[in-house]
Amino acid sequence: MKRIFISIYLILFTFSLLAERQEITIWHSYRGDEQRALEKVTALFNESQDEFKASLLLVPYDAFANKLTSAIPRGNGPDGFIFAHERVGDWAESGIIAEVGQEIDVQLRDDLIPSTLQALKYNGKFWGVPLSFKSLVLFYRTDLVAHAPKTLSELTETASRLTNVGEGRYGLAFEATSTYFAAPFIYGFGGGFCLEDGTSSAVSACLDNPGNIAAVDYIRSLLIDKKVVPQEATSALVTQLFNDGRAAFVINGPWFLGEIDKGVPYSVAVLPQVSGAPDSLMKPFLTVEALLIANHETTNKRGAIAFANFIASFDSAKIRAQLGRQSVATASVYNDPEIAGDETLKVFRDEAEVAVPMSNNPKMRMVWEPFAGGLRKVLRGAADSKTALAEAQRQYKIFDKPIPPAQSPVTFVIILLLLGIAGLFFVIRGIRKHRVIDAVINSPTPYIYLFPAMFSMLLLVFVPFAVGTAVAFFSHKSGDFQFVGLANFISILLSTDFAITDPLSFYATLVVTVLWTFVNVVLHVSIGLALALMLRTPWLKMKGIYRILLIVPWAVPNYITALIWKGMFNRQFGAINGILQAVGIEPVSWFSSFWTSFAANVTTNTWLGFPFMMVTALGALQAIPQELEDAASVDGANSFQRFRHVILPLLKPALLPAVILGSVWTFNMFNIIYLVSGGEPDGATEILISEAYKWAFQRQERYGYAAAYSTLIFIVLLLYSKATEKVGKE
């Protein structure tokens, strides 16, 4: 009888396991109302059926793509994830995502806005289920403008009447130097990038076509000729102008809704028709957020598809539209009485009908940098649009060049083995020479305490360094690496792609980097030492307060400081130009020439760097006996002689390591270059580390090329440190 009960129990237990719902994991990066709407829809999905149970995981947006490309190829990660569609081509080619094919519900497919579904098409296949979309529209203040203009010429005329540059008022505001914000003009004037049809990466972009040239000329006329748009406008500046009533019209996206202050009277409208082209409207990019299916062995594709169909369905889309304030891809939702009265959602819905889905071709990611560079060149008057876009096209072709051919690694493996054997020989000889083994056996305690630090250094420093160096001998494309030997180093050192004087060449960038490091370190040491000497004087009162105030620039995170100084250098609204105008000097366009842009970077970094040198010097000064200076004074030495022959030699042991450390920091000070000048003009103020970043993340993900850059940076710094070490011993 006992065996019968046990058998029945095992059978019931087995059935309970079989009946257990299958878990599906969905990654997203939503916040606020969008997150709450998604959580509500997910709860409804779990209640509506017994086969699957969906769980959500919030992943920070900045780390989202990297986590996906790291986890999924290794059989980890989510079953599905919500992300913008522009990476579909990359991920389809590298096998990160799975094709959805005909698995989208038939009724749902017919109900989706066509442009949102088209955005998920690549190489004739569909790779996700569209959920929502974003595009640019026209915002306008109803206390300044009675109605939205219908044509671009009407918009320009109205903006001209409302512009008063002297009072800081502009009729129209948008980020004119951004390719994304230039897109409505580009497509309105019949331009484009030749990558819009979702075909394979075999096609090439076209940046210098006549439509693009006409669009850039028109944007230039708005900024330079008519002056109805502020120059060097950032997103923060556009928001401030609109909230303060100093910008009547703004071209922006749905994220702008959360930035408008309460009480500001505004409305939204579709972008106007281009003057002189009756059938042509300004057409912004359309970005579609979709649920994509991860492609790994453990993916529950059926569950992820079921979840995607559910949250894109009418009822779920309505919740996301109402609670999450999303412009959903489900067309029938906009006919619902509760949604139809929402004018804002209606405008975004209407804009989606004419908007151009941003290309999901992998090559589109290489368009942004060269086109934006050409656009900025035109807007600062450095070149005409035809010349600037021709140069942008040339840069694009360089970024788009094929990866080096694969090479046999046999020779390199043999060389590596020989170097390893030689290194092992020297290590063993050193161990025997210094009797390290005997020391460990006779006195193991110090080595036990040192082991955690040694292990951490090995794991966190040497292993990543070795991996990074190894990557320099490979090329990367669509998630695959192939061995190319010294091809990356040869391309960089022989400057095969650029003239040596070109700002994008290694040697031109190296010269700028050395100049950048030298000027900054000289200023850091000079200012820091001068302040330390002042704070050392006995007659100075409130020294403690001064020390606290002077160390604040170093205590504030450098990216915060960089953004503050970036705003201060703004041509029209920056504090620096405000001071210059107050004393009768014309405002300076700081980022339009090399030397002014370089000066802006140096000023920002000097503000950040002098406190470290001041603290170092002050600590060393306090250790110098006062009797030595008194003796020199009695012998007739003046202040300069005492500093030159007494103080400075005694400061050298403390200052030299600080100078070396400061040089290395400055040599690799990525944040300041990236956030202040952005390399402007035309990449002339880039330094080696910022160039390596761009090769890795903005130019066809050429990780091997970027790793070779980083290896060369290490060699340069190693030679520098050895040279300074030798000088210090003299």
Report the pLDDT value the prediction gives residue 13, as an integer from 0 to 100: 43
pLDDT at 76: 86
Looking up residue 574, the CATH number of its domain turns out to be 1.10.3720.10
Q: Print the SS3 string covering 48-111.
A: HCCCEEEEEEECCHHHHHHHHHHHHHHCCCCCEEEEEHHHHHHHHHHCCEECCHHHCCHHHHHH
CATH code of residue 390: 3.40.190.10
Same domain, 211 and 258: yes
276 and 292 co-located in one domain: no
Is residue 157 located within the same domain as residue 251? yes
pLDDT of 15 reads 42
Tell me which residue range forms the domain holding 588: 524-682
Q: Give the end of a domain, one of 644, 666, 682.
A: 682
Measured in whole angstroms, how far is the alpha carbon of residue 679 from the centre of its chain? 14
> What residues contact 81, with CB distance under 8 A and at least 6 apart?
26, 27, 28, 64, 68, 291, 292, 294
Q: Which one-letter amino acid corresponds to residue 11?
A: I
Residues sharing a CB contact under 8 Å with residue 635, sequence separation 6 or more, in sequence order: none
CA 224 to chain CA centroid, Å, is 29
Assess whether 110 and 141 both reside in one domain.
Answer: no
Q: Where are the beta strands (DSSP E) in 380-527?
A: 474-477, 480-483
The whole-number pLDDT of residue 264 equals 92
Residues 6, 61, single domain; the answer is yes
320 and 277 co-located in one domain: no
Answer whether 348's CB lies under 8 Å from 271's CB: no
Handedness of CA 684, 687, 690, 695 (dihedral sign): positive
**Per-residue tokens: 388:** 């600037």
d(CA 138, CA 272): 8
pLDDT reported for residue 124: 86
Structure confidence by residue, pLDDT tens digits, 251-281 = 999 999 889 999 999 999 999 988 755 567 8
Rounded Cα distance between 484 and 585, Å, is: 55
> How many structural domains compose the chain?
4
The answer to whether residue 496 is domain-embedded is no
Predicted pLDDT of residue 16:
43
Instruction: Kindly state whether residues 316 and 247 are assigned to the same domain.
Output: no
Q: Is residue 492, in this structure, part of any structural domain at all? A: no
Shared domain check, 73 and 146: no
Answer whether residue 602 is part of any domain. Answer: yes
- Report the amino acid identity of residue 505: S
In this structure, what token pair is assigned to residue 108? 């749902």
Q: Reduce the DSSP state of residue 206 to 3 states and report it.
A: coil
Residues 655 and 541 in one domain: yes
Find out whether 399 and 405 touch, Cβ atoms under 8 Å: no
Task: Say what the pLDDT of residue 467 is.
Answer: 86
Same domain, 341 and 382: no
**Residue 693, in any domain of the structure:** no
Using one digit for the tens of pLDDT, what is the confidence trace for 29-87?
998 899 999 999 999 999 998 899 999 999 998 888 888 888 888 888 899 999 999 99
Identify whether 197 is part of a domain. yes
CA distances 476 to 205, 274, 484, 698, Å, are 20, 42, 10, 13
**Structural domain contains residue 125:** yes
Instruction: Give the pLDDT of residue 157.
Output: 92
Q: Are residues 215 and 110 in the same domain?
A: no
- Identify whether 713 is part of a domain: no
Asked if residue 385 and residue 266 are part of one domain, the reply reads yes
* Residues in the chain where the model's pLDDT stays below 70: 1-19, 198-202, 276-279, 434, 436, 438-440, 478-479, 727-730
pLDDT confidence of residue 495: 87
Give the integer Cα–Cα distance in Å for 702 and 665.
25
> Is residue 705 one of the residues assigned to a domain?
no
